Amino acid sequence: MKLILYTFFGVFLMMTACTSKKQPADMVILGGRIYTANEQQATVEAVAIKGDTIAFAGTEKEVREWMGDHTEVIDLKGKTMTPGFIESHGHIMGLGYNELQLDLMDVKSFEEIVAEVKAAVAKAEPGQWIIGRGWHQDKWDTKPEVMVKGFPVHQLLSEVSPNNPVFLRHASGHAGFANAKAMQLAGVNQLSIEKLGKEIGEGGEIIRDPLGNPTGLFNERAQGLISQYIPDNTAESDAQALELAIAACSRNGITSFHDAGASRENIALFEKFKAEGKLNARLYVMITGFDRDLINEWYKKGPEIDATHRLTIRSIKLNCDGALGSRGAWLLAPYTDRPDFSGMATLPMDTVMKTSREALIHGFQVCAHAIGDRANREILDRYEMAFKANPDKAGNARYRIEHAQHIDPADIPRFGKLGVIAAVQAIHMSSDRPWAIDRLGEKRIREGAYMWQSLLKSGAKVINGTDVPVEPINPIASFFAAVTRQTLKGQPEGGYEPAEKMTRDQALKSYTLDAAYGEFEEKNKGSIEPGKLADFTIFSKDIMKVPDNEILSAEVAMTIVGGKVVYKK
């Protein structure tokens, strides 16, 4: 009997030893500072990955148990790793096309725009459209002598492009500038403006000079008068743009991307890229609210939640007002620098109400663009009514307000109370705050603009991004803006309205764990802990510790998606 027991005990020990021995990891990462965005274990020394999943996060000593003959070992050599950064609001096709068309984001004057267009005309065939985006008149070092309602007039541009129609979208995407040839093709002239203005309605504006002539500036829905004549993108150019966009995500440490308003054609292209294994950035897609037929089709088939976490479609994007830069943001009181105007709604509130109710029933999230304080209030009102009408579905709806840029103080607590996510772009504060005070005045700026800390204290989730191509996709700049509230030139000292700064921990979560929450994925990504996806961003500097003035000099050194290196500097 003793012999049998000893034999049994020996076999048991051998089996236990075999089962406790860890299977070698596919990849081990060590040798640097690793921030996890996991409150229970804020930093670790090393990570082990099996397949596309984190198997271990802990000490370098312990991770060696995971290393085998075929384990790829990445030595950070003192660099800093975080969970993969998530772009919470951008336009991925716009990002790609920005690299194919005129990129006017860095121009410093209207004369520079004219020069860019002149150079493009020299390479183009007569009649070929010249398309660009990114200009912002309030960021120019010098302004033209002649301006109407804060915008330039088309004559200089038209002189260098007499045979080529030109349309240059504002950085915000909420306005566009056309030359004489483009307006001629669209039939926009002094005699037609009244009729065209009535067709557009209150959701758009053709800006005119004192004589009643069109200046070339088309605000909000008025852009459609010109854009309908621009040749459609081709399948080939769309595919090229998406490839460029994904590569740009990888270069900038973006492992997931919330696409704010995808068309039927966009979704088909995303699915094709997924099938071909080319989605190196995970996509969370908002269906464009401009296509009601498309929305109704998705209601019938329900959300598409991808088990591989590469392509998920479960939200709807509504564009409800304009932008501060073009004075299209919908305000409770008139603009300080245009007292006759309070912006505009670009979508009927009845449509917002209808969508908010229907989306709850069909399991979709609503993501509503609202920049002005009236737009934010009107959207919160509709969300609240929808939630009260269907409380069983409202508990985990995670409805979002995209931008949430200017909010009346009375409405800030409603975000937390209603569970509405504020999808902000901290970089907008850095870029816009120097001139936004002219639009809103000091009182409204100080009490209700870029209110990140107040929103967080309300209990709301605040998630971060860039609204690319409105701003460059670089998350380091937006992280810097979140924690300093300064321009990218480091002004002013101490930052604008410093009480609204995010802490560095809050800023990291806004780009990682909370951003994952914004797409219902916080259990699968957004922090570094076993069982979650192996998505990481590696920086050249410790963005959580270096002085404020060193953050912008940090670079993305490596990007890892699903345990695969997709970019290395």
20 inside domain: yes
| Cα distances (angstroms) measured from residue 468 to each of 108, 171, 417, 471, 473 | 19, 9, 30, 5, 5
Last residue of a domain, one of 55, 78, 101: 78
Instruction: Establish if 159 belongs to a structural domain.
Output: yes
Q: How far apart are CA 301 and CA 58, in angstroms?
A: 43
- Do 451 and 322 lie in one domain? The reply is yes
What's the full length of the chain, in residues? 569
Instruction: Of 213, 174, 176, give the one whose Cα is nearest residue 193.
Output: 213
What digits encode the pLDDT tens for the residues 280-299? 999 999 999 999 999 999 99
The verdict on 452 and 483 lying in the same domain is: yes
What stretches in the chain show pLDDT beneath 70?
A: 1-21
* CB distance 82 to 508 below 8 Å: yes
Domain contains 441: yes
Q: Could you tell me if 204 and 158 lie in one domain?
A: yes
CA atoms of 356 and 305, how far apart (whole Å): 20
CA distance 423 to 421: 6
- Would residue 541 count as lying in a domain? no
- What is the rounded CA–CA span in Å between residue 352 and residue 383? 9
Measured between alpha carbons, how far is 106 from 283 in angstroms, rounded to an integer? 28
Q: Whole-angstrom Cα distance, residue 427 to residue 433?
A: 10
- Phi/psi for 306 (5° steps) reads -80, 120
Please tell me whether residues 270 and 182 are part of one structural domain. no
State the pLDDT at residue 20. Answer: 45
Cα 246 from Cα 63, distance rounded (Å):
32
532 found inside a domain: no
Q: Residue 2's pLDDT is what?
A: 54
Which amino acid is residue 317, in one-letter code? K
End-of-domain residue from the set 179, 202, 227: 227
Instruction: Summarize pLDDT for 240-251 with one digit per residue, the tens.
Output: 999 999 999 999
Boundary-marking domain end, from 227, 262, 284: 227
Whether residues 245 and 372 fall in one domain: yes
3-state secondary structure 406-433: ECCHHHHHHHHHHCCEEECCHHHHHHHH
Number of domains in the chain: 3
Tokens standing for 277? 């294994």
Do residues 211 and 252 both lie within one domain?
A: no
Whose tokens are 């209030």? That residue is 377
Are 368 and 516 found together in one domain?
A: yes
Amino acid in the structure at residue 23: Q
The SS3 call for residue 329 is coil
- CA 161/CA 143 separation, integer angstroms: 21
CA distance readout (Å), 548 to 103, 192, 476: 29, 54, 12
Q: Does 273 reside within a domain?
A: yes
Token pair 């804060």 is found at 150
561 falls within a domain? no
What tens digit of pLDDT does each residue of 490-512 get? 999 999 999 999 999 999 999 99
Structural domain of 191? 109-227
> How far apart, in Å, do the first and last CA atoms of the chain sit?
66
**Cβ atoms of residues 334 and 349 within 8 Å:** no
CATH of the domain at 184: 3.10.310.70
Decide if 542 is inside a domain: no
Residue type, 175: A
Q: Are residues 7 and 125 in the same domain?
A: no
Q: Could you tell me if 220 and 248 lie in one domain?
A: no
| DSSP symbols for 203-269 | GEEEEE-TTS-EEEEEEEGGGHHHHTTSPPPPHHHHHHHHHHHHHHHHHTTEEEEEEEEE-HHHHHH
Domain of 485, CATH number, reads 3.20.20.140
Q: How high is the pLDDT of residue 262?
A: 98
In this prediction, residue 21 carries a pLDDT of 56
Q: Are residues 482 and 350 in the same domain?
A: yes
Residues 125 and 36 both lie in one domain: no
- Which amino acid is located at 67 in the chain? M
Query: How far is residue 66's CA from residue 23's CA, in Å, rounded to a whole number?
Result: 7
Instruction: Say whether both 69 and 186 belong to one domain.
Output: no
Nearest Cα neighbor of 246 from 562, 470, 567 is 567
